[in-house]
């Protein structure tokens, strides 16, 4: 009899645990009512294990019932790119205790080139932040502790609706009061309550806000002020500064200029922009024409599309049969250069569509590392900001960069007569280590000829 007791106890415990697991929902309802929770005792745990019952460390006894808790997951810094191993955690999009869905953004990491979003691997509730904002984080580092499972917090709109629903009920109460003569004294009581509300009204909360705003306004620089402010450069700005200085120190940069008559291209655009917009949804601009002109000019002067590679400044010239044009785009955080791939295979509409898509992604801060990787030639359009003339800096390891500028009407001698024409200055900065002056000037003249007579681009001459 004594030997059967442990077996009977284990069997009863096993049977009881199975029945209680089936009624887990009842246990959860007990939790909602505030029932006490206590850990499973060691004797019960050993008895369950001896009866081949799976006991998880997340099992708890609730008035004799067992409840399984949710597991924790650690959110790590995702892979960003081969050349990027760390970044700065700029901000958390959620707070501790917030429920997040799977793939919902919970943090943003700023890198040298782009901002990387950190998304939740699974649905759950944020339990703890393992790092702080502005901390430097590395790929694979744990930054957030997430409790998996659970449900979103109840919406706060429902109580608001109830309050809004209670408001119309208040005027209904006076109706009942009007029916009874005695409640008139009760109506006086609320009036007495309203009187103290009058002194509470003078509490100047809005003026307090104004007082808070006044110091902010006083912080604005006053005439004659000599205050100084120091702001730390973000990673993108630091990287841009490093790359530009590297270009100046490495390349033998030289800039050649020319002037182009935009009359024919502007007339060409005026004739066909509406048809192109209706059929393709693309707004025809000037960037596609300059890109196409550069591609055709590179066929005669392939060194413009080449680059120098190798140790100690480079000892090898790399020629390419493809053209990947980097388009300089100004954003709030700095200059980025997304790339139009295989521009040599595109027509004007295709190039314009690709540039428009990349520009939109840049403004929306949705560019990826792949969008900016590579590039064999750069076009920078400072004319959109009103620049009349400038000398762009080469984007290494490229060999040249074309700078476009503002279109201005100027008097020009045409066939012995003075005419007013829309003119633009072109600037080509090139690496003199690879390109000589003859090749650089010839390339820029070819671009000028294609722009002044766009029909030549159709013939390829």
13 and 132 housed in the same domain: no
17 and 108 housed in the same domain: no
Structural domain ending residue among the three candidates 119, 148, 177: 148
E runs forming strands in 186-303: 253-261
- pLDDT, tens digit (0-9, with 9 covering 90-100), for 1-15: 444 444 444 445 445
What does the DSSP 8-state code read for residue 223? T
Domains identified in the chain, total number: 3
CA distances from 330 to 207, 360, 361, 400, 450 (A): 41, 11, 12, 19, 27
311 and 387 housed in the same domain: yes
252 and 362 housed in the same domain: yes
123 and 243 housed in the same domain: no
CA distances from 70 to 58, 189, 198 (A): 8, 53, 52
Question: Tokens at residue 176, please?
Answer: 């009942």
Q: Is 265 part of any domain?
A: yes
Q: Is 277 part of any domain?
A: yes
**Active site positions, annotated:** 432, 436
Domain residues for 115?
Answer: 72-148
345 and 427 housed in the same domain: yes
Structural domain ending residue among the three candidates 99, 126, 148: 148
Q: 305, 323 in Cβ contact below 8 A?
A: yes
The CATH number that applies at residue 379 is 3.30.559.10
Mean pLDDT of the chain: 77
Structural domain ending residue among the three candidates 94, 114, 148: 148
Q: Is 176 part of any domain?
A: no
The CATH number that applies at residue 108 is 2.40.50.100
- pLDDT, tens digit (0-9, with 9 covering 90-100), for 166-188: 444 454 444 444 444 444 444 44
396 and 414 housed in the same domain: yes
- pLDDT, tens digit (0-9, with 9 covering 90-100), for 376-404: 999 999 998 999 999 999 999 999 999 99
Tell me what pLDDT residue 320 has.
Answer: 95
Element (H, E) at 288: helix 287-300
Q: Is 231 part of any domain?
A: no
59 and 99 housed in the same domain: no
More confident site: 205 or 147: 147
- pLDDT, tens digit (0-9, with 9 covering 90-100), for 14-42: 455 454 444 444 444 444 444 444 444 54
Q: Is 175 part of any domain?
A: no
Closest to 339 in 3D by CA, of 298, 314, 372? 372
């Amino acid at each position: 009899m004594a030997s059967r007791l442990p077996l009977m106890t284990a069997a009863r415990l096993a049977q009881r645990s199975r029945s209680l697991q089936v009624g887990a929902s009842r246990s959860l309802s007990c939790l909602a009512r505030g029932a006490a929770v206590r850990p499973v005792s060691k004797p019960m745990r050993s008895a369950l294990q001896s009866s081949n019952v799976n006991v998880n460390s997340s099992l708890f006894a609730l008035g004799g019932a067992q409840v399984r808790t949710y597991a924790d997951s650690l959110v790590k810094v995702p892979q960003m790119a081969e050349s990027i191993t760390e970044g700065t955690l700029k901000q958390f999009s959620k707070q501790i205790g917030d429920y997040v869905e799977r793939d919902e953004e919970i943090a943003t990491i700023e890198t040298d080139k782009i901002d990387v979003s950190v998304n939740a691997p699974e649905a759950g509730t944020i339990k703890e932040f393992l790092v702080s904002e502005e901390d430097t984080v590395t790929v694979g580092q744990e930054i957030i502790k997430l409790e998996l499972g659970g449900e979103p917090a109840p919406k706060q709109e429902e109580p608001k609706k109830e309050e809004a629903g209670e408001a119309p009920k208040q005027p209904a109460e006076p109706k009942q009061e009007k029916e009874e003569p005695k409640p008139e004294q009760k109506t006086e009581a609320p009036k007495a309550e309203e009187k103290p509300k009058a002194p509470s009204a003078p509490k100047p909360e809005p003026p307090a806000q104004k007082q808070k705003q006044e110091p902010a306004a006083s912080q604005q620089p006053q005439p004659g002020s000599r205050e100084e402010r120091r702001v730390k450069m973000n990673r993108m700005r630091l990287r841009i500064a490093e790359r530009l200085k590297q270009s100046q120190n490495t390349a033998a940069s030289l800039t050649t200029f020319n002037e182009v008559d935009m009359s024919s291209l502007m007339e060409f655009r005026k004739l066909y922009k509406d048809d192109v917009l209706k059929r393709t949804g693309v707004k025809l601009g000037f960037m596609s024409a300059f890109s196409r002109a550069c591609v055709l000019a590179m066929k005669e002067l392939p060194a413009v599309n080449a680059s120098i590679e190798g140790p100690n400044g480079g000892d090898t010239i790399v020629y390419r049969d493809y053209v990947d044009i980097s388009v300089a785009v100004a954003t709030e955080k700095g200059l980025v250069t997304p790339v139009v791939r295989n521009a040599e295979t595109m027509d004007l509409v295709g190039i314009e569509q690709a540039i428009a898509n990349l520009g939109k992604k840049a403004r929306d801060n949705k560019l990826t590392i792949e969008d900016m990787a590579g590039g064999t030639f750069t076009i920078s359009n400072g004319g959109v900001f009103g620049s009349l003339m400038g000398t762009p800096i080469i984007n290494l390891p490229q060999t040249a960069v074309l700078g476009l500028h503002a279109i201005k009407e100027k008097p020009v001698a045409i066939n012995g007569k003075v005419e007013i024409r829309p003119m633009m200055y072109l600037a080509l900065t090139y690496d003199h280590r690879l390109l000589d002056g003859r090749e650089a000037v010839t390339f820029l003249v070819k671009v000028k000829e294609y722009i002044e007579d766009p029909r030549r681009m159709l013939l390829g001459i």
